[in-house]
Structure 1
Amino acid sequence: MRSWVAASLLAGGAITAGAAPESSLASAKPHRAVTQEGNDGSYQLASATALRPVPRPVAPQIAEAEPAVAELNFNGWITEFKVRAVAQGIRESVLDSAFAGVSYDPEVIRRDRNQSEFTKTIWDYLDSAASELRVQNGKAALRDQQARLEQIESEYSVEKEIVVAIWGLESSFGTFRGKMDVIRSLATLAFDGRRGEFFEGQLVAALKILQAGDVAARSMTGSWAGAMGHTQFIPTSYLDYAVDFTGDGKRDIWSDNPADALASTAAYLKKFGWKKGQPWGVEVSLPEGFDYTLADRNIEKTPDEWAALGIKGLDGREVKNHGPASILLPAGSNGAAFMIFRNFAVLERYNTADAYVIGVGHLADRINGGAPIQGNWPRGDRALTLAEREEMQQRLTGAGFDTGGIDGKIGPKTIGAVRAYQVANGLTADGYASLRLLQRLR
């Protein structure tokens, strides 16, 4: 997704290297420039209309190849790819312009290989995502773009604070948009073959953007994995959801003017069902003796039903009824608790990681004058490594608790397996995949 890699929940609140760097400028005025495949941190935007490329030969993974050999094979792959691209409606003149001077980029492959190993805990991520500096910069960015954001909110019924929060996490309010050549990055990833079909689809989409005249080939810059602009759209999502808010005939998410990018983000959220006035979630307090098996995304109750079970807002009152809600414990029974509403799932369409969604929602709340998260975090815990996550899945599966595979990704099936193991062994059934649990499994 972006060069610093999107948040992606991996284990025990662990995510891949987090939010965009914070701007050192207090004013935060923009001045420069998911599979969801996002399960491993590569992308935050999954297109609802996936491109289906012409069947392609499977290229070998070439991460360890000699540079000269890789470049030679890459050039041959481009020749073959151009035939497939023409079959999908890309003009030869567009291909010639797009690939002029494009070479294989080993740095892209290095980043792709290494991204899932570098993790941090959810509390470390949130410390950055909603830091005081980022909150100050967010408020400044909102003031700077106030009129434009109010127009966008009126047009798409998505709160301006949510749009600003996404802008802040994706590019630090336009400060870090990514400077890598998108065609070069996507071609390298498509050639590599590890996820070649997906990236070839993104490459074809990028060529369609060029063919439409929205941007010039060498001005199409972004992250190492092809995410672009102020709010880091991947090409297929751009084709499906980007809008021309300025009315200049182009959907320009790359320029210093963030209008099209911010409106495109609001249009994306609206498309997937954002409900204005409904919070993403509310921090809550749990009663003593709470049945932690109820903290499950598949279990929804209205706030008054949760209140009958002793779950209330931090003010001690019943949470306002915004519709069905679930209880989320991103760091288990020893961390903060949230009552999450269906707008949470809409934000997940942007990035599937719980940490990212909480980061966006909480940053938006803080920009709007809300308080910091009050609950404690188990700061003595550390994130599990990739090898440890895989080991946990192996040991759970071997003990009869199905994780749905051994991939090092702590998703719903692994959390369910953790919870089932906890129930069977008389432990607090919070589904928290911690180092302590792994040590017990050992």
Structure 2
Amino acid sequence: MSRLPMHRFSTPARLALSGLLLCAGGAAAQAPASPAPTTAPAYDAAAFARCIAGIRGDAAKAGIPSAAFDALADVTPDMTVLPLLDSQPEFTTPLWDYLAGLVDDERVADGRARLVEHRALLDRVAAQYGVDAETVVAIWGVESDYGRVSGKRPLRVSLATLACHGRRQPFFRSEFVALLKLMHDGDLQNRDTTGSWAGAFGHTQFMPSTYARIAVDFDGDGRRDLVDSIPDALASTANYLKRSRGGWKTGQPWGYEIRLPAGFNAAQAGRTNRRTVADWTARGITRVDGGTLPAGNTQAAILVPTGVKGPAFIVFSNYDAIFSYNAAESYALAIATLADRLHGGRGLQTPWPTDDPGLSRAQRRELQTLLLARGHAIGEVDGMIGTATRRAIQAEQRRIGLAPDDGRAGVRILDALKANR
């Protein structure tokens, strides 16, 4: 992902896996992300050893004995994580692409199945933390495709690398120590636990410091396990929202899709530009579905993420709680709109302001099948738009005369290839 989002960075601190998902296939896999740089810098073994030795003091202050630190910190850096610092899809992918893959019919169907499968657990979570099951399951779906895609990079290696190289070293240094502390204390019993390139891991992708601060033992086995325990992971996610700045407001909506009045001034929009619902209503804001808005004194903001011609939203304090999980507007809208679909909603009613909307995972697989039929060596049909698929798309765009020949996986190239089977 690309600006380092909050639930994993800063104060709650985090780095969303949805980028991995987008690029990889989990919610992880879904929106076609811009290709990340592939050139990784070399490293100086002596300098890396000095850096790791310099972290020993921080580890000791955290309660990790020197011998335990030496054993856990004995890693070789993976420099391929560094280029990824600047390629987070929440900030590099068009919103209609990002949401097309993360909030598609497959993820909705899977989420509804999880709601049924884990109903008793989710009811217990809702009773204790006040967060509705649909929002918790939406985060699970976007973060790891319901546990299917949680990252394959060894956490100790990635965080040690980022602690000693690249930007944000102080942040990653503290996350590295937090990870080793979780391992030393027994919350994580596998020293080879894997996750995203930036250190987020588990069903709902917590960074180590967030894990240490927020995770709960909901299954009662004596340890907080967000990797192999679904009860711990879902309850911890609800706990995060409950403890977010402002707190989760039980029973209140995150927001609604709205219809803007003619001549709406986009300068009035923005998540922090709050007015009362009564004020917005007086300015001509209405719900697209014709429903009623909350009480007139409720504070709300208007979002126009793709301009006044695209979908618009009125959002309340629960949207801020979702936003805090990963500080990116596209991410928060993915969670919010998926939760709406899980509640039985129909999805967005206003079309995106583009003639080339994004593709669902099923459509991406169909596109890859068509590319394979034309002789392009793109590997397996998996719905993940990687470098090989983009190059094949670009070649077909040039052959067909479809401009721009940018390698983007959208409806236009899919329709063109279907028309020229």
User: Given the superposition, is the C-alpha separation of residues 77 and 382 from structure 1 closer, same or farther in structure 2, using an over 3 Å criterion?
Assistant: farther
Per-residue deviation, 1:23: 11
Is 1:325 matched with 2:300?
yes
Is 1:260 matched with 2:261?
no
Q: What are the within-5 Å matches in structure 2 for residues 68-217 of structure 1? A: 70-100=44-74, 102-115=75-88, 119-217=92-190
SS in 2 for 1:283: strand
Output one character per residue of 1:277-331: Cα deviation in whole Å (capped at 9) or x when no partner.
1111100111223333322334333333322221111133542338211111111
Is 1:277 matched with 2:251?
yes
State the 4+ residue runs in structure 1 displaced beyond 3 angstroms: 5-8, 15-19, 21-25, 113-118, 296-299, 315-318, 380-383
Is 1:245 matched with 2:218?
yes
Q: Which moved more, 1:225-234 or 1:289-298?
A: 289-298
Q: Which moved more, 1:266-275 or 1:112-121?
A: 112-121
Gaps in structure 2 of 5+ consecutive residues: 8-15, 28-33, 359-421
Is 1:342 matched with 2:317?
yes
The answer for the alignment partner of 2:398 in structure 1 is none
Cα distance in structure 2, aligned partners of 1:286 and 1:114: 33
Percent of aligned pairs sharing the same letter: 42
Does the CA-based 8 Å contact 1:214-1:251 persist in structure 2?
yes
Per-residue deviation, 1:208: 1.6
Aligned length: 336
Cα distance in structure 1, aligned partners of 2:55 and 2:224: 26
Output one character per residue of 1:148-185: Cα deviation in whole Å (capped at 9) or x when no partner.
11111111000010000000000000001112211111
The answer for the alignment partner of 1:291 in structure 2 is 265
Is 1:371 matched with 2:343?
no
Q: Which moved more, 1:133-142 or 1:72-81?
A: 72-81
User: Given the superposition, is the C-alpha separation of residues 80 and 294 from structure 1 closer, same or farther in structure 2, using an over 3 Å criterion?
Assistant: closer
Cα distance in structure 2, aligned partners of 1:377 and 1:114: 24
Does the CA-based 8 Å contact 1:229-1:254 persist in structure 2?
yes
Larger RCO, structure (CA 8 Å, separation 6 or more)? 1
Per-residue deviation, 1:219: 4.0
Per-residue deviation, 1:93: 3.2
User: Given the superposition, is the C-alpha separation of residues 187 and 177 from structure 1 closer, same or farther in structure 2, using an over 3 Å criterion?
Assistant: same
Cα distance in structure 2, aligned partners of 1:263 and 1:205: 21
Per-residue deviation, 1:117: 11
SS in 1 for 2:191: helix
Cα distance in structure 2, aligned partners of 1:276 and 1:249: 28
Cα distance in structure 1, aligned partners of 2:90 and 2:124: 41
Q: CA RMSD in A?
A: 3.2
Does the CA-based 8 Å contact 1:244-1:250 persist in structure 2?
yes
* Residue type at the aligned position of 1:258: I
Cα distance in structure 2, aligned partners of 1:211 and 1:197: 21
User: Given the superposition, is the C-alpha separation of residues 22 and 130 from structure 1 closer, same or farther in structure 2, using an over 3 Å criterion?
Assistant: farther
* Residue type at the aligned position of 1:20: L
Cα distance in structure 2, aligned partners of 1:117 and 1:338: 18
Gaps in structure 1 of 5+ consecutive residues: 9-14, 29-40, 42-61, 384-442
The answer for the alignment partner of 2:21 in structure 1 is 20
User: Given the superposition, is the C-alpha separation of residues 19 and 314 from structure 1 closer, same or farther in structure 2, using an over 3 Å criterion?
Assistant: farther
Per-residue deviation, 1:195: 1.5
SS in 2 for 1:327: strand
SS in 1 for 2:344: coil
* Residue type at the aligned position of 1:173: Y
Output one character per residue of 1:46-80: Cα deviation in whole Å (capped at 9) or x when no partner.
xxxxxxxxxxxxxxxx9533xxx533432332233
* Residue type at the aligned position of 2:308: S
Cα distance in structure 2, aligned partners of 1:302 and 1:116: 33
Cα distance in structure 2, aligned partners of 1:348 and 1:79: 36
Per-residue deviation, 1:85: 2.2
* Residue type at the aligned position of 1:354: E
SS in 2 for 1:96: helix
Does the CA-based 8 Å contact 1:152-1:263 persist in structure 2?
yes
Cα distance in structure 2, aligned partners of 1:250 and 1:16: 24
TM-score, structure 1 length as denominator? 0.69
Cα distance in structure 2, aligned partners of 1:24 and 1:203: 26
Q: 1:312 aligns with which of 286, 297, 304?
A: 286
